[in-house]
Structure 1
């Protein structure tokens, strides 16, 4: 395949993966619907920067080396699974509090200091959610090893990184924008508690499954 075909295939595969439900998708949905457009856009920027770093590490072979070290990869899974479970637990805890206090307003039930209204905090949440997800590491190792040949030119690899980053930023930014329009906000306001609950369950399930995999892998080595 020539480089144009490789880059086109890479873009299509990556975009399809971006649209599939997962921690990144859920994070944007949960926070854009609750805290608004600015928070959603900075989370999108954080996620896309995490994807850029994953892509760079995979392209240079660092992620492959990590994946080939069972103990190191299991520890990464442990950290990532714990973080995703932490996000899920927080969302479920907030949902449970609202169910038990239905008359409490959102502002009253959540202290301002805990909201993702800070740009740096929103960016960090997006970046950490992506970079600590071991499934993302495996995905990009597989994507780069199968589609990007070692003989590809340096400019071609640079364009590949730009494509992966820009597609991620555009998709998650569009998602944040679409979910934070006034019309959409009015429609989903009554569904906020269900969105939080579903996202909490998704984070918790993925986090626990990763934790189970990591503990099983570590136990098998000792």
Structure 2
């Protein structure tokens, strides 16, 4: 039976999920530039990374909080990755525009899905805020008396919510009409997203552990 605890947890998780961040920028840009399969792959990669942090939170400990050195290393790795991703976005904005899906079918298959999944996983797993968020969510909202089975249900729900929400975003963006409208401003979107990612990388690198 679903309890008020579940609805409070799900509501807090959804509000965080709906907040635009690096994952959101990656999904929108990849869907426009590389197509729906790449975007769905990125959605799965993001969900898998979130699932990893959910599993750590379910285990009752946080490697990030227990190890300042690991947290600092992940912050630097995330800063470098975000800066690199921003640079890629900026460089991609200089390339000729084309609707995703116009490339040969062979380029839109397995490799596109796997490439998107890898990019999505790295984007989410290298963000230390994700680990701290899930650990804090379970610590503050889930009571000590809640059984492990119910906690596992919470975790599976959040994993599914991440994937479904991101996949729905990809499907909405990759609709032919939406894509035709968005692709006209794709270089501007990529330059703006690249700049935001670089600013986020600098802010993360300069922040204190």
Normalising by structure 2, report the TM-score.
0.88
Over 6 Å off, 4+ runs: none
Question: C-alpha separation between the residues in 1 aligned to 2:30 and 2:49?
Answer: 18
2:133 corresponds to 1:139 = yes
On the 8 A contact 1:3/1:152 being kept in 2, the answer is: no
Question: C-alpha separation between the residues in 2 aligned to 1:131 and 1:147?
Answer: 23
Picking from 157, 169, 172, the partner of 1:175 is: 169
**What CA RMSD, in Å, does the superposition of the two structures yield over aligned residues?**
2.4
Tell me the alpha carbon deviations over residues 11-48 of structure 1, each in whole angstroms, 9 at most, x when there is no partner: 11111111111011111111112222111111111111
Q: Residues 201, 115 of structure 1: CA spacing in aligned structure 2 closer, same or farther, 3 A cutoff?
A: farther
2:148 corresponds to 1:154 = yes
Question: C-alpha separation between the residues in 1 aligned to 2:68 and 2:27?
Answer: 31
Q: How many residues align?
A: 203
Normalising by structure 1, report the TM-score.
0.83
| Correspondence for 1:126 | 120
On the 8 A contact 1:3/1:156 being kept in 2, the answer is: no
Gaps of 5+ in 2: none
Question: C-alpha separation between the residues in 2 aligned to 1:41 and 1:105?
Answer: 21
| Correspondence for 1:76 | 74
Q: Which has the higher helix share?
A: 1
| Counterpart mapping for 1:1-222 below 5 A | 4-63=3-62, 65-95=63-93, 97-98=94-95, 104=96, 118-213=112-207, 216-217=208-209
Question: C-alpha separation between the residues in 2 aligned to 1:20 and 1:106?
Answer: 28
SS at match of 1:159: helix
